[in-house]
């Protein structure tokens, strides 16, 4: 890809239209990005967290990345989490993604990325579940946190496990849980949906448990509530007490990235002073299908920090799809003339 003087703009409606009903394609893109990442064909600096002293629950995160191999694209996701938005009728998270040509460094596209963020998060968890769930045809899942990412997470789990016909929901807001339930019924009227009144009562009802909450610190500390066969897809990263992390089997997307910013895994590392309790990284599992990892007889926790290379891969796929179907807005002559080409009489 060689950038020209145009910048392609893909707004939220366009991105949603391009990404709708493309679970198989997104899963394939995310899987390939993980494999490329495991091969070292990437650059992934640590994410930058912008926080606010007067509102510590809010944050904006910058994720710069470069992925070679299949995708050959650079860029950055800029994603915010403002939980208070929910009470004001807005989504908690918003995001933008900028793609840069890997040969010239010039930006080639600017995308609304909240859908990309949710779908790549859900695809990552679903891929992990495929490798970690021992049951051939699981029938149920337990969704903790009833927001948009939790909804996409269920859709992707259902895609990789079509046998799922029951879902149990838990959210501290009954209103959100009821709305989530109604959206699931719209998705499949035959789906059996129930709302749990406590974690403890529902934890043993399913071996697939997903966490997509806004928790900023651990609030689940009972190591005995999950079945030994359970796979905990801990995408919100801060729900589980370090005691649970240290008692269970642990798989992450990237050890160095996930041991930051007071994630449950980071807190566990601070307690024991090492990372030996982390047994595998998902990219290695996908690329070698072994890496010496074997599930223990305890529940397993998948903790994905969320790698920027995944956003870039999905963004590149969406950009190419937008070209093929002829959607998106081109901002012509976005770049100024080169300094060498300017009329010297115009210089001041």
Do 181 and 246 fall within a single domain? yes
What is the pLDDT at residue 254? 96
What is the pLDDT at residue 69? 85
pLDDT at 343 over 70: no
Q: How confident is the model at residue 334 (pLDDT cuts 50, 70, 90)?
A: confident
322 domain residue, yes or no: yes
Do 28 and 100 fall within a single domain? yes
Kindly state the helix (H) or strand (E) to which residue 309 belongs, with its residue range. helix 308-325
| pLDDT (tens digit per residue) in 168-193 | 999 999 999 999 999 999 999 999 99
Return the structure tokens found at 272: 């024991």
125 domain residue, yes or no: no
Contacts of 224 (CB under 8 A, 6+ apart): none
What is the pLDDT at residue 293? 85
What is the pLDDT at residue 307? 95
238 domain residue, yes or no: yes
DSSP 20-74: TT-HHHHHHHHHHHHHHHHTT-EE-PPPEEEE-TT-TT-EEEEEEEEE-TTT-EE
Asked if residues 145 and 90 have their Cβ atoms less than 8 Å apart, the reply is no
Do 328 and 276 fall within a single domain? no
218 domain residue, yes or no: yes
Do 220 and 273 fall within a single domain? yes
192 domain residue, yes or no: yes
Spatial distance between the Cα atoms of 54 and 162, rounded to a whole number of angstroms: 45
Do 24 and 107 fall within a single domain? yes
| pLDDT (tens digit per residue) in 222-243 | 999 999 999 999 999 999 999 9
Do 261 and 277 fall within a single domain? yes
What is the pLDDT at residue 294? 85
Please tell me the total count of domains within the chain. 2
What is the pLDDT at residue 342? 63
Mean pLDDT of 51-73: 94
pLDDT above 90: percentage of residues in the chain: 82
pLDDT at 265 over 60: yes
Q: Tell the residue number behind the tokens 């995708």, with chain if given.
A: 71
The domain that contains 63 carries what CATH number? Answer: 3.30.1780.10
- Average pLDDT of the chain? 93
Q: How confident is the model at residue 308 (pLDDT cuts 50, 70, 90)?
A: very high
Do 184 and 278 fall within a single domain? yes
pLDDT at 40 over 90: no
Do 50 and 74 fall within a single domain? yes
Q: How confident is the model at residue 121 (pLDDT cuts 50, 70, 90)?
A: very high
What is the pLDDT at residue 1? 60
14 domain residue, yes or no: yes
pLDDT at 259 over 80: yes
Mean pLDDT of 48-54: 94
pLDDT at 142 over 60: yes
156 domain residue, yes or no: yes
Name the residue among 336, 332, 312 with its Cα closest to residue 9.
Answer: 332
CA 235 to chain centre: 7
Higher per-residue pLDDT: 40 or 137: 137
Asked if residues 33 and 70 have their Cβ atoms less than 8 Å apart, the reply is yes
Return the structure tokens found at 233: 């897809």
Return the structure tokens found at 264: 């449950």
What is the pLDDT at residue 200? 87
What is the pLDDT at residue 347? 52
| pLDDT (tens digit per residue) in 16-29 | 999 999 999 999 99
DSSP 272-309: HSS-TT--EEHHHHHHHS-TT----SS-EEEE----HH
Do 225 and 99 fall within a single domain? no
DSSP 167-212: EEEE-S-HHHHHHHHHHHHHH-TT-EEEE-S-HHHHGGG-SEEEE-
Mean pLDDT of 319-334: 92
Asked if residues 319 and 109 have their Cβ atoms less than 8 Å apart, the reply is yes
Higher per-residue pLDDT: 297 or 288: 297
Do 147 and 96 fall within a single domain? no
Spatial distance between the Cα atoms of 179 and 183, rounded to a whole number of angstroms: 6
Q: How confident is the model at residue 339 (pLDDT cuts 50, 70, 90)?
A: confident
Higher per-residue pLDDT: 205 or 132: 132
Computed from CA positions of residues 31, 35, 41, 42, in that sequence, does the dihedral angle turn out positive or negative? positive
121 domain residue, yes or no: no
Determine the structural domain holding residue 218 and report its residue range: 132-303
CA 112 to chain centre: 15
Kindly state the helix (H) or strand (E) to which residue 153 belongs, with its residue range. helix 148-160
- Report which DSSP code applies to 161: -
Do 101 and 246 fall within a single domain? no
Asked if residues 149 and 118 have their Cβ atoms less than 8 Å apart, the reply is yes
Asked if residues 231 and 302 have their Cβ atoms less than 8 Å apart, the reply is yes
Do 96 and 243 fall within a single domain? no
DSSP 217-280: S--B--TTSS-TT-EEEETTS-SB-HHHHHHSEEEES-HHHHSSTT-HHHHHHHHHSS-TT--E
The domain that contains 209 carries what CATH number? Answer: 3.40.50.720
Q: How confident is the model at residue 77 (pLDDT cuts 50, 70, 90)?
A: very high
């Amino acid at each position: 890809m060689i950038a020209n003087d145009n910048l392609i703009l893909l707004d939220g409606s366009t991105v949603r239209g391009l990404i709708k009903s493309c679970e198989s394609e997104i899963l394939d893109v995310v899987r390939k990005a993980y494999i490329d990442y495991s091969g070292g064909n990437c650059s992934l600096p640590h994410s930058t967290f912008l926080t606010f002293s007067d509102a510590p629950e809010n944050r904006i995160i910058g994720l710069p990345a470069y992925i070679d191999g299949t995708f050959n694209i650079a860029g950055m996701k800029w994603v915010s989490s403002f939980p208070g938005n929910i009470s004001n009728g807005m989504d908690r998270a918003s995001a933008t993604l900028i793609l840069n040509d890997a040969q010239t460094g010039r930006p080639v596209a600017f995308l609304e990325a909240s859908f990309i963020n949710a779908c790549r998060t859900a695809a990552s968890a679903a891929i992990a579940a495929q490798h970690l769930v021992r049951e051939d045809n699981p029938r149920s899942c337990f969704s903790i946190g009833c927001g948009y990412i939790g909804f996409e997470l269920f859709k992707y789990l259902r895609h990789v496990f079509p046998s799922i016909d029951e879902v149990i929901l838990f959210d501290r807001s009954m209103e959100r849980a009821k709305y989530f339930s109604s959206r699931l019924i719209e998705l499949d009227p035959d789906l059996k949906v129930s709302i749990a009144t406590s974690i403890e009562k529902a934890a043993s009802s399913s071996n697939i448990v997903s966490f997509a909450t806004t928790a900023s610190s651990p609030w689940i500390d009972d190591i005995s509530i999950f079945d030994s066969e359970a796979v905990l897809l801990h995408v919100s990263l801060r729900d589980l007490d370090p005691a649970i992390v240290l008692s269970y089997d642990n798989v992450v997307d990237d050890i160095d990235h996930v041991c930051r910013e007071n994630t449950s895994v980071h807190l566990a590392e601070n307690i024991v002073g090492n990372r030996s309790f982390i047994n595998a990284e998902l990219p290695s599992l996908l690329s070698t299908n072994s890496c010496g990892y074997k599930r223990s007889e305890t529940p397993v926790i998948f903790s994905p920090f969320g790698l920027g290379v995944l956003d870039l891969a999905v963004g590149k796929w969406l950009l190419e799809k937008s070209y093929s179907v002829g959607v998106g807005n081109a901002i012509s002559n976005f770049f100024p003339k080169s300094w060498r080409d300017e009329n010297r009489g115009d210089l001041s």
